[in-house]
Chains A and B, each alone.
Chain A
Amino acid sequence: MKDNSQETTHFGYKTVEKSQKKNLVAGVFDSVAAKYDVMNDVMSFGIHRLWKRQTIDSSAVRQGQRVLDLAGGTGDLTAKFSRIVGPQGQVVLADINASMLKVGRDKLRNLGIVGNVDYVQANAEELPFPDDHFDLITIAFGLRNVTDKDKALRSMLRVLKPGGRLLVLEFSKPEHDALNTLYDFYSFNILPQMGGLIANDKESYQYLAESIRMHPDQETLKQMMQDAGFEQVTYQNMTGGIVALHRGFKF
């Protein structure tokens, strides 16, 4: 008998062939790329900026270091990392989606951020970088869209320098039931409507809400990072656990 779990994966609440997910996710982000920043601000009431700020605080990044901003999308983290690492450092903004990468590149160039930022279209599962290459890897709101998360985590471990750290910022499971209920109502009733209104794309935002629910919770992701080989893995809940920042090291 064929083991279907090896061949299928989640796309929101749907079960799809693993080979299909990449294209389906690409379709979502092709559709939302142009309005991505506006929607992030509207959907999170601007709080996503504070979550990203906390990610940078936890990075210990400094001048001259090499940073990979994976699934970096429109480059919020890259913009700040670029200024901190300075001209001797390097930031690679990588995203599997060409539309998102283009929006990010245009935005950063308009901000005058050039010189130490490279743009790479890359699949997190098969990162096209040498072993032990980066001091820091961040993946913010990207891991849940990856088809094979374990493979992606192993790939990140490979390209991270010994002593380097991985930061995973991702939606997670709220700590309190009341907040969970409220959050569910918001995600499945209000968020797709806002997506329809602002980005003219209700379905993509329905997928985003579903993909958040299908993403591993805090403890599961911590275990996945440990299984991939990361050490001293910890996580920090933010906004009641709606978002969690996981941190792991390679030694």
Chain B
Amino acid sequence: MPTQALINAFAERLVNTALAEDRNAPKRLAAVKGKTFRLRLDMLPWPLTMTFCADRVFFMGEDYDAVDGEVTTSVAVLSTLRDASQVTAALQRGELQLSGNPIFAQQASQVLLGLEIDWEESFAKRIGDVPGYWAGQGLAWLRQQRPNLDAWQQWFGETLSEEKKLTVGQVEYALFSDELKQLAQRVRQLEGGES
């Protein structure tokens, strides 16, 4: 328990500091205020349980049992929560399990996924305008050097489905679905013929 509580306390401090720097955070928080969202990621030993307030997020432990919505998925699929159509596709592919209102799940995930911080302004408040400007520029340069996360996710997904054949691709999945529907139709016809 203490390890989990300690990590939750650290995450809570980190996230709330970031939210305080994001001008649009109050709008996103208002949509989910008073509700609790639980995210189970395959790589984490315990779920992230977040209770939303008007100006902050509380990270609760797994014993907190008043949860309004829950998503179980992997890190690679996490970004699909941004887009409702992708959520549906991920649900159909079984890459994502959802309990509760899907709109709430999307709004809750947006609180963190939609973080936008003006680093220049944020640094300027703490270390002054000129050093803040240079620190902000340095951070922007570092972000440009960072590999594109979406591209990596796409590559990862394609490698698994197309090259390594560890999972099925979208076309194969669609073909399989069609074949399954045809089979179901034939079974129904046969049953109808027997009776």
Residues of A near any B CB (own CB < 8 A)? 47, 49-50, 53-54, 56-64, 80, 83-84, 86, 236, 238-239
Nearest A residue to B60, CB-CB: A57
Closest 7 pairs (CB-CB, A-B): A63-B34, A57-B61, A50-B5, A60-B66, A57-B63, A83-B53, A57-B64
Q: State which residues 30-75 of B face A: CB under 8 Å.
A: 33-36, 51, 53-54, 56, 58, 60-66
Given contacts A56-B60, A60-B66, contact A47 B2 (CB under 8 A): yes
Query: 12 interchain pairs (CB within 8 A)?
Result: A50-B2, A50-B9, A53-B8, A56-B58, A57-B61, A58-B63, A62-B36, A62-B66, A63-B34, A83-B58, A86-B33, A236-B1
B residues within 8 A CB of A239?
Answer: 2
B residues within 8 A CB of A57?
Answer: 5, 60-64
B6 contacts partner chain A, Cβ-Cβ < 8 Å: yes
Question: A236 CA to B5 CA in the complex, in Å?
Answer: 14
Determine how close the nearest CB of chain A comes to the CB of B107; give it in whole angstroms. 16
Let me know if B66 and A61 touch, CB within 8 A: yes
Determine how close the nearest CB of chain A comes to the CB of B95; give it in whole angstroms. 29
Question: A53 CA to B66 CA in the complex, in Å?
Answer: 15
Determine how close the nearest CB of chain A comes to the CB of B102; give it in whole angstroms. 21
Given contacts A50-B9, A53-B8, A53-B9, contact A83 B56 (CB under 8 A): yes
**Of A58, A60, A84, which contacts B58 at CB under 8 A?**
A84
Question: A61 CA to B64 CA in the complex, in Å?
Answer: 9
Let me know if A84 and B53 touch, CB within 8 A: yes
Question: A47 CA to B3 CA in the complex, in Å?
Answer: 11
A residues within 8 A CB of B53?
Answer: 83-84, 86
Classify the secondary structure of B's interface with A: loop
Question: A62 CA to B64 CA in the complex, in Å?
Answer: 10
Question: A230 CA to B35 CA in the complex, in Å?
Answer: 28
Nearest B residue to A87, CB-CB: B54
Let me know if B63 and A54 touch, CB within 8 A: yes
Interface size class of B (residues with CB under 8 A): 20 to 34
Let me know if A238 and B51 touch, CB within 8 A: no
B residues within 8 A CB of A64?
Answer: 34
Question: A174 CA to B51 CA in the complex, in Å?
Answer: 32
A residues within 8 A CB of B66?
Answer: 60-62
Nearest A residue to B63, CB-CB: A57
Question: A243 CA to B1 CA in the complex, in Å?
Answer: 12
Let me know if A60 and B56 touch, CB within 8 A: no
Question: A50 CA to B56 CA in the complex, in Å?
Answer: 19
Nearest A residue to B53, CB-CB: A83
Question: A17 CA to B181 CA in the complex, in Å?
Answer: 82
Determine how close the nearest CB of chain A comes to the CB of B123; give it in whole angstroms. 25
Determine how close the nearest CB of chain B comes to the CB of A46; give it in whole angstroms. 10
Nearest A residue to B9, CB-CB: A53
List 19 other contacts, CB 8 Å, given A50-B6, A86-B34: A50-B2, A50-B5, A50-B9, A53-B8, A54-B61, A56-B60, A56-B64, A57-B63, A57-B64, A59-B64, A61-B66, A62-B66, A83-B56, A83-B58, A84-B51, A84-B53, A86-B53, A236-B1, A239-B2
Given contacts A238-B2, A239-B2, contact A60 B65 (CB under 8 A): yes
Let me know if A60 and B64 touch, CB within 8 A: yes
Question: A86 CA to B54 CA in the complex, in Å?
Answer: 8
B residues within 8 A CB of A62?
Answer: 34, 36, 66
Question: A84 CA to B33 CA in the complex, in Å?
Answer: 9
Determine how close the nearest CB of chain B comes to the CB of A244; give it in whole angstroms. 12
B residues within 8 A CB of A47?
Answer: 2
Determine how close the nearest CB of chain A comes to the CB of B58; give it in whole angstroms. 7
Nearest B residue to A238, CB-CB: B1
Determine how close the nearest CB of chain B comes to the CB of A148; give it in whole angstroms. 31
Nearest B residue to A61, CB-CB: B66
B residues within 8 A CB of A60?
Answer: 64-66
Determine how close the nearest CB of chain B comes to the CB of A42; give it in whole angstroms. 18
Determine how close the nearest CB of chain B comes to the CB of A231; give it in whole angstroms. 17
**Of B1, B34, B35, B51, which contacts A54 at CB under 8 A?**
B1
Determine how close the nearest CB of chain A comes to the CB of B35; give it in whole angstroms. 8
B residues within 8 A CB of A54?
Answer: 1, 5, 61, 63
